[in-house]
Amino acid sequence: MDKEQHSPNFEQPMNGTWLVADQCRDCVFRYKDYFRMGDKKIPCSEEDGWKKSSCEIFPYPQSKPPEVQHNTGECEYYEKERQRKK
Ligand code: SF4
């Protein structure tokens, strides 16, 4: 085994592409205030919830369909959230 071990450098900005399904941004089934991992409910903000790899239709350990995550296809369950009346 290589003597030099990899150690994470938290001082550096993270590089790489994070898959974000744009279609989920305003879907009623996106996570809004928490997401579920098994029995656990983990808090998240409305700004972050739609970016999670799972949603109410595809709960963990499932994940959103690849074409949705890669923004190459439409989700058959997508339902646009109604805008609140002002
Ligand atoms: S149902 Fe489809 S569009 Fe809606 S949040 Fe889940 S994966 Fe995204």
Distances (CA, A) of 49 to 17, 31, 56, 85: 18, 4, 11, 23
Tell me which residue range forms the domain holding 57.
Answer: 30-69
Cβ(30) – ligand 1 distance below 6 Å: yes
Q: CB-based contacts of 72: which residues, under 8 Å, 6+ apart?
A: none
- pLDDT tens by residue, 63-85: 999 999 999 999 999 999 987 66
| 15 in any annotated domain | no
- Number of structural domains (the chain) is 1
Q: What is the mean pLDDT of residues 23-52?
A: 90
Is the pLDDT at 2 greater than 60, yes or no?
Answer: no
Nearest to 52 by CA among 75, 68, 73, 76: 68
79 versus 9: the higher-pLDDT residue is 79
d(CA 53, CA 45): 15
Helix H or strand E encompassing 40: strand 40-43
Averaged pLDDT of the chain: 83
10 is written with which tokens? Answer: 């938290």
Cβ(23) – ligand 1 distance below 6 Å: yes
